[in-house]
Amino acid sequence: MKLKPSTIQGVLTVTVQENRIDAASALQFKERMRDVTQGTAHRVILDLGQVHFLDSSGLGAVVAVMKLLAPDRKLELSNLTPTVEKVFRLTRMDTIFTIHPQAGMAGQNALKA
C-alpha cells in the first residue's frame, strides 16, 4: 500500500498511489494511514484520484481512519473517481465527509477555512 504524504502550509495531503482499496488491502491501508498521520496537522486530506476501486471493506477502512484522527484532526477527501464517488453517495458517507473535487482545490479550501 503506497501512500505519499506531503505537507503544505500545515495541511497534510496523503495521496493513495494504488488503484484499489479492497478487502485484501483495507487493513494495510488503515495501518499505513496511522503511520503517516502521526503527529500531523489538524487537517488531513486523502487524495483518492488514483483509486478506481473501493469496496465496502475499503469504505470501512476510510471511516476507521477518520475515527482514528478524531476528535483533534479532521479527515477530508478529494479527487474521487466515478465508481468510488458512487460508493460514498449510495452509503450517504458523502454527507459525513467533506469531499473536494481536486486535491489542489482541497488545499486552497483548507487554507481559507
**Quick check: 38 binds another protein (CB under 8 A)?**
no
Strands 20-21, 53-54: pairing kind: parallel
**Applying CB under 8 A, which of residues 11, 14, 59, 80 lies at the interface with another protein?**
59
Stretch that binds another protein, among 6-14, 35-43, 88-96, 100-108 (CB under 8 A): 88-96
Minimal distance, residue 1 CB to another protein, in Å:
15
Of the pair 24, 111, the CB lying nearest another protein is at 24
Compute the distance between CA of residue 22 and CA of residue 27 in angstroms, rounded to an integer: 9
Which three cell numbers, joined as nine digits, stand for 1?
Answer: 500500500
CA-nearest of 111, 97, 90 to 41 is 111
